[in-house]
Amino acid sequence: MRLRAALPGNARELVGEYERHLELERGLSAHTVRAYVGDVVSLLGYLHGVGNADDGAEDGGEAAAEDVAALAGLDVGELRAWLAEQHQAGVSRTTLSRRAAAARTFTAWAHRVGKLEQDPGSRLVAPRPHRTLPGVLRPEQAEQVMSASSAGAAERDPVALRDHALLELLYATGIRVSELCGLDVGDVEFDRRVVRVLGKGGKERTVPFGVPAEKALRSWLDEGRPVLVERANGAAAKALFLGVRGGRLDPRSVRRVVHDGVGSVPGAVDMGPHGLRHSAATHLLEGGADLRSVQELLGHATLATTQLYTHVTVERLKAIHDRTHPRAR
């Protein structure tokens, strides 16, 4: 925010236009918009000499001339120099790749709306990130997590019923934590055992869930939610999962629930909702599901993202082979 405030007025206006484009025209989530805008502010800060993405604005940043065009001098050389400066500062390959992608998106938009005569981002190549997956639960560990959660829910405490329901639903569907928190009661169809999810880019998909998740959801809706909904008001009254004060459950609370639930199993890798999503995808593939079906369930835009999970299953197969085959060693 300090760096954005230190930009020349015309650059700040440009950032505002781009932010509105991301929010209103592309319908991106608040988190994604914040990340894209932050990278663009970093780029413009570098271009106008008013600081960098990691240190914030420097004193005197307002001295940049207001009459200089917001994108003056922006070409592929400047883009490369911006990334090179961050590389020298120790920024990771993954972050550099993300910032390069953000810059390409920004320059393509700027060219399309007439802010740039040419699109320099189309010629920008960044190092590929080291894409790694977090640890995943073994199927028996996932079963232990759900069993422990079910034992807590047996006390019929509203919060325990809620926590068990959200753990079962996260693992059954592999949906993102933001998608879980955005669910309304009407998004659950018990007759078909599916949930309608609004994913990235405003794309809706339908994801099935099994009998354990159905039972946990019904218990929460019948016994737990009515206690908390009395404290709800406004739009939160429609939310599937509620906080103890009646508001829509937030991602931070879900992360705590998953962390505590997984932590109850000895030897299980520490994880949050994203790790539970990875576990669900891995177990689907190990159970014989095809990549295209898993892609649809997870809401991945490309099959390449889903293919990352095959590395996990292959490594597991190799470990099993090494441990059990008489000619493995």
Last residue of a domain, one of 76, 97, 123: 123
CA distance 253 to 180: 12
The predicted structure's pLDDT at residue 40: 93
150 and 271 part of one domain: yes
Give the span between the Cα atoms of 282 and 280, in whole angstroms.
Answer: 6
| Domain presence at residue 313 | yes
Same domain flag for 102 and 161: no
CB 28 within 8 A of CB 39: no
pTM over 0.75: no
Cα 244–222–246 angle (5° rounding)?
20
- Residue 93 lies inside a defined structural domain of this protein: yes
Residues 161 and 119 in one domain: no
Same domain (yes/no): 254, 311: yes
The helix/strand/coil state of 205 is strand
CA 2 to chain CA centroid, Å, is: 25
Are residues 248 and 181 in contact, defined by beta-carbon separation less than 8 angstroms? Answer: yes
Q: Do 204 and 304 have their domain in common? A: yes
| Residue 55: predicted pLDDT | 43
Q: Are residues 215 and 241 in the same domain?
A: yes
Instruction: Give the rounded distance of the alpha carbon of 329 from its chain centre.
Output: 41
Q: What is the pLDDT of residue 59?
A: 42
Boundary (domain end) residue, out of 123, 151, 175: 123
Same domain, 179 and 286: yes
Cα 70 from chain centroid (whole Å) = 31
165 shares a domain with 32? no
Does 91 share its domain with 145? Answer: no
- From 75, 299, 288, 24, select the one nearest 175 (Cα to Cα): 299
Q: Tokens at residue 149, please? A: 């959660």
Strands 56-57, 188-189: pairing is unpaired
CA proximity to 161, closest of 233, 273, 240: 240
Domain that holds residue 119: 2-123
Q: What is the CA radius of gyration of the chain?
A: 24
What is the model's pLDDT at position 4? 86
Q: What is the CATH number of the domain that holds 223?
A: 1.10.443.10
The encoded tokens of residue 228 equal 């908390």
Domain boundary among 123, 147, 170: 123
**What is residue 316's predicted lDDT score, i.e. its pLDDT?**
63
When divided into structural domains, the chain yields a total of 2
Check whether residue 216 and residue 92 sit in a common domain.
Answer: no
* Distance from C-alpha of 11 to C-alpha of 222, rounded to nearest angstrom: 53
- DSSP label at residue 239: B
Say yes or no: 148 and 274 in one domain.
Answer: yes
Active-site residue set: 176, 200, 274, 277, 300, 309
Strand partners, 239: 184
φ, ψ (nearest 5 deg) of residue 19: -60, -45
Q: What pLDDT score was predicted for residue 32?
A: 86
Of 140, 143, 188, whose CA–CA distance to 167 is shortest? 143
Q: Is residue 247 one of the residues assigned to a domain?
A: yes
Tens digits of pLDDT across the chain (329 residues): 888 888 888 889 999 999 999 998 888 888 889 999 999 999 998 888 876 444 433 444 443 344 356 787 789 999 999 999 988 888 888 888 889 989 999 999 999 999 998 999 998 886 666 666 667 899 999 999 999 999 999 999 999 999 999 999 999 999 999 999 999 999 999 999 999 998 877 788 999 999 999 999 999 999 999 999 888 777 788 999 999 988 999 999 999 999 999 999 998 988 999 999 989 988 988 888 888 888 888 888 777 777 777 766 666 666 666 777 676 66
User: Do residues 219 and 268 both lie within one domain?
Assistant: yes
